[in-house]
């Protein structure tokens, strides 16, 4: 009963940290979040994605084909709350809270911790509570629980897969349920397509539970997913990101071979051919292996985990001063790693977990693609804390102080830092453009290196049928070498840099341009849209 009450307190704390001001922190709603909401809106209104595909396995978006679980889970929320930032993010917050609860039960099921079982019930409960608390206060987990990202919904499915598997070791009927959850996990997020089946196979083999029914159920779910991800259009995203398809690899190899050849001659020679040894040493497999190992090892760098974190502000709770884990957690993590060396599950998790991310071009310290490692970190840190014994109260006191400092930063300064990467102001821009549309011949929206298209569809709640029946959306060239999607008289400029002081559109025009656009200081703005820190985000002027 005591453990239940403490867990309830941890869940309440986790809920507050994930739901408080969720529609305003992170400050804005970036393209992928709006895309999730608009896809759910389209499925709700028409039963089709906004490209017109009926109940697709992988909804077709402008950028790629999305995994289905998060989007389909959002449909009833959008129906109930409407198309709003809150409705888009609520599924992620609920997933985060569920993960906190589920890691408590997973810790109780992990039998490879024999040293904890001297007082079996209480010690297992203590480990579970520590793991739940670590996850509840994790800045990595809090950040992703407050934005609409597919990786966060992956965790509860993966944790349920593991809990039911370990229950299945005692009662085989649970193995069928475990196979179901493992299959569904592969449909939550792209890295899970690789990690979940390998983890499932590893568990079946290592525990000698190769039963036909769970395997068939898993394959029934997984095979269509991996087929469309490998041979269908849903595989284009990985193709675009994979180190194996990086178009720069050939140039890197040529440069390496040329440099090596030049090092052996006294003067440059036209048509110098690389030697056999150079070809053997410098080649595409060598570059791929180097990229993979660099990505893999960077996943466990102290800079990424403890001091700076992911360098993209969408993935990290600070610009460059907070790691994915708390710096103070390095002590229990090291202790935990020492004592869990006989734990096959966690060792496998740590060894194989970085591979999906490491196979992508920017996949080393990438917080979303390595997010599947977070439960393993939380369990190991919790186990390390439990081994501190009489020093646990002192450590927890210092740890809570560190948590308070980081969370104060997150709920304060990060509110301002997150505005630009989360495309703050895009909703004001498209709303203003729509309201002014009757007054002008043309309205140009230029958000420089982004596009306001999804913000336009999402914030104005454009009828999905309008989008479905106009695919591909009309693209025009309002100026030489400049493209824009045109909807009525509103031109949504494609990503790029434009010099508005030199452009001469005909008629009466309203231009809404990013404050980062060059030479805008030479124009007289009618209005300035400010970021929350009171720096200019967009200028509005007539031309």
Mean of pLDDT values over 508-520: 91
DSSP strand pairing (442-446 vs 490-493) = parallel
Domain spans in the chain, listed from the N-terminal domain onward: 170-236, 242-282, 426-542
pLDDT tier for residue 8 given thresholds of 50, 70 and 90: very high
Distance separating alpha carbons of residues 497 and 517, to the nearest angstrom: 7
Predicted local distance difference test score (pLDDT) of residue 348: 95
Supply the DSSP symbol for 418.
T
Predicted local distance difference test score (pLDDT) of residue 247: 84
Distance separating alpha carbons of residues 183 and 180, to the nearest angstrom: 5
Supply the DSSP symbol for 137.
T
Predicted local distance difference test score (pLDDT) of residue 262: 74
pLDDT tens digit sequence for 94-105: 999 999 999 999
Predicted local distance difference test score (pLDDT) of residue 136: 98
Omega cis (within 30) before 472: yes
Whether 272 shows a pLDDT value over 90: the answer reads no
Contact 424, 25 (CB under 8 A): no
Distance separating alpha carbons of residues 468 and 48, to the nearest angstrom: 9
Instruction: Report the percentage of the chain scoring pLDDT > 70.
Output: 96
Predicted local distance difference test score (pLDDT) of residue 114: 42
Distance separating alpha carbons of residues 32 and 22, to the nearest angstrom: 16
Mean of pLDDT values over 71-92: 97
pLDDT tier for residue 269 given thresholds of 50, 70 and 90: low
Distance separating alpha carbons of residues 117 and 132, to the nearest angstrom: 19
Predicted local distance difference test score (pLDDT) of residue 124: 63
Whole-prediction pTM:
0.93
Predicted local distance difference test score (pLDDT) of residue 1: 75
Distance separating alpha carbons of residues 306 and 331, to the nearest angstrom: 11
For residues 252 and 377, the model is more confident at 377
Burial status of residue 214 (CB atoms within 10 A of its CB: 0-12, 13-18, 19 or more): buried
Q: What angle do CA 171, 173, 177 make, to 5 degrees?
A: 120
Distance separating alpha carbons of residues 478 and 507, to the nearest angstrom: 13
pLDDT tens digit sequence for 46-80: 999 999 999 999 999 998 899 999 999 999 999 99
Contact 21, 418 (CB under 8 A): no
pLDDT tier for residue 107 given thresholds of 50, 70 and 90: very high
Contact 241, 361 (CB under 8 A): yes
Distance separating alpha carbons of residues 200 and 348, to the nearest angstrom: 11
Predicted local distance difference test score (pLDDT) of residue 123: 61
Question: What is the SS3 assignment for 496?
Answer: coil
């Amino acid at each position: 009963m005591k453990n239940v009450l403490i867990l309830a307190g941890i869940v309440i704390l986790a809920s507050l940290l994930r739901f408080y001001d969720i529609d305003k922190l992170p400050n804005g709603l970036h393209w992928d979040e709006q895309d999730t909401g608009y896809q759910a809106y389209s499925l709700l209104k028409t039963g089709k994605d906004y490209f017109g595909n009926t109940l697709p396995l992988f909804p077709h978006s402008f950028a790629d084909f999305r995994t289905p679980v998060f989007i389909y889970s959002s449909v009833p929320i959008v129906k109930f709350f409407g198309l709003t930032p809150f409705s888009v993010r609520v599924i992620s917050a609920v997933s985060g809270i569920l993960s906190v609860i589920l890691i408590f039960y997973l810790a109780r099921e992990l039998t490879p911790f024999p040293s904890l079982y001297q007082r079996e019930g209480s010690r297992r409960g203590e480990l579970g509570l520590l793991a739940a608390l670590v996850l509840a206060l994790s800045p990595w987990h809090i950040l992703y629980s407050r934005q609409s990202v597919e990786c966060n919904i992956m965790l509860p499915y993966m944790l349920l897969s593991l809990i039911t598997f370990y229950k299945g070791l005692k009662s085989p009927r649970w193995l069928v349920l475990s196979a179901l959850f493992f299959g569904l996990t592969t449909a939550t997020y792209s890295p899970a397509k690789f990690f979940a089946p390998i983890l499932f196979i590893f568990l079946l083999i290592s525990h000698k539970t190769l039963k036909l029914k769970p395997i068939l159920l898993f394959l029934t779910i997984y095979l269509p997913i991996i087929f469309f991800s490998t041979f269908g259009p849903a595989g284009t995203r990985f193709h675009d990101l994979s180190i194996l398809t990086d178009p720069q690899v050939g140039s890197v190899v040529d440069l390496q071979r040329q440099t090596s050849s030049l090092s052996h001659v006294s003067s440059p020679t036209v048509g110098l051919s690389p030697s056999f040894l150079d070809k053997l040493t410098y080649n595409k497999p060598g570059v791929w292996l180097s990229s993979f190992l660099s990505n893999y090892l960077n996943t466990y760098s102290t800079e990424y985990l403890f001091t700076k974190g992911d360098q993209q502000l969408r993935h990290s709770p600070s610009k460059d001063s907070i790691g994915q884990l708390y710096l103070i957690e390095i002590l229990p993590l090291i202790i935990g790693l020492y004592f869990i060396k006989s734990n096959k599950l966690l060792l496998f998790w740590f060894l194989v977990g970085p591979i999906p991310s490491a196979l992508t071009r920017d996949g080393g310290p990438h917080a979303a693609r390595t997010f599947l490692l977070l439960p393993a970190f939380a369990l190991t840190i919790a186990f390390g804390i439990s081994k501190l014994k009489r020093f646990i109260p002192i450590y927890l006191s210092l740890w809570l102080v560190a948590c308070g400092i980081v969370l104060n930063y997150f709920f304060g300064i990060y509110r301002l830092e997150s505005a630009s990467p989360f495309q703050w102001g895009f909703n004001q821009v498209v709303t203003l453009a729509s309201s002014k549309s009757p007054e002008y011949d043309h309205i140009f929206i230029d958000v420089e290196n982004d596009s306001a298209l999804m913000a336009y569809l999402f914030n104005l709640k454009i009828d999905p049928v309008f989008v479905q029946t106009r695919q591909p959306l009309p693209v025009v060239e309002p100026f030489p070498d400049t493209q824009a999607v045109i909807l009525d008289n509103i031109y949504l400029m494609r990503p790029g840099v434009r010099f508005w002081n030199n452009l001469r559109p005909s008629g009466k025009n309203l231009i809404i341009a990013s404050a980062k656009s060059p030479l805008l200081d030479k124009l007289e703005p009618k209005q300035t849209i400010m970021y929350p820190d009171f720096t200019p985000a967009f200028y509005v002027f007539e031309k």
